[in-house]
Amino acid sequence: MKSKERATLSGIALAALLAPGLLVGGEVQALPEGVETVEVKPTSKDHPLDEIISGWQYRSPETQALQEDDFENPAFLWVEQGEELWSTVDGAANKSCASCHDDAADTMASVGANMPKWNKALDKPVNLEQQINLCRTEQMEAEPWKWESAQLLGMTAYVKNQSRGEPVSVQTDGPMKPWFDKGKELYYTRVGQLDMACSSCHEDYYGKQIRADMLSQGQTNGFPTYRFKWQKIGSLHRRFKGCMKNIRATPYKVGSDEFLALELYTAWRGQGLPVEAPAVRQ
């Protein structure tokens, strides 16, 4: 290697160390807004992966660029709607979310990183969408929002965005253990006419090309996510349904116990990754 080439590579390597980004194709790529890393090491000896990598790293430079800038990220249309709904009074109790939770930047700072979470009153875990609707029905005395409605997607995106940069950390012991075990079982169970499991793509072949897309590890730290295929933001459970349909299996319902257990297990698989929501994906 010529000395000039070595000097150029040394400069690139130094820039990669000093700048918050990744070295891709000889260029330092900026990371998503509010995120300092997209790759962490597992802390559990039982983790099936040697490295935990955000789906952002497997996207095209153009898609990455949309997520890098909040002004360009199309999902922020829903975040802005959620911000407006946060202080909108609704229901017989004449309350808004802000009535109880004040400034979301303070009170919701880690909420999105810790869901699903155990709900003692229901004797089961709930995810963020379910918790939002519980607040609406029990505290605001308002009607629950429908799954995938603009209101629920907007509020979920807004609340989750307050946790951006916070490491994913979910409880998997105690009362959550049976749910975690169920989610793990579902993750590795082959279903559908194609006889495939979640692990068939996201554990065995991540980083490989599938048609025009590249398989990721199926990490969930970016949900709710804007997908070009949907032309809108969507929930994690919608993505679960889509995956099951792709392998010609009968999908569970959004909000079902099966998808809730799967959400818990996949969140654990991404423990330590920073929340990116709302992410942008193909």
Instruction: For residues 163 and 168, give the distance between their C-alpha atoms in angstroms, rounded to a whole number.
Output: 9
Element of type H or E holding 239: helix 236-246
Residue 270 tokens read as: 């991404």
CA–CA dist 144, 151 (Å, integer)? 10
Spacing of C-alpha 11 from chain mean position: 34
What lies within 8 Å, CB to CB, of 194 at 6+ separation is 247, 248, 249
How far, in Å, CA of 133 to CA of 122, rounded? 13
Distance CA 110, CA 200 (A): 32
d(CA 54, CA 219): 6
Q: How many CB atoms are located within 10 Å of the residue 240 CB?
A: 23
DSSP of 56-93: GGGS-HHHHHHHH-TTT-TTHHHHHHHHHHHT--BTTT
Q: 97, 198, 201, 243: which is the annotated catalytic residue? A: 243
Compute the distance between CA of residue 234 and CA of residue 230 in angstroms, rounded to an integer: 8
Annotation marks residue 201 as catalytic: no
By C-alpha distance, which of 159, 170, 118, 109 is closest to 136? 159
Task: List, by residue number, the catalytic residues.
Answer: 243
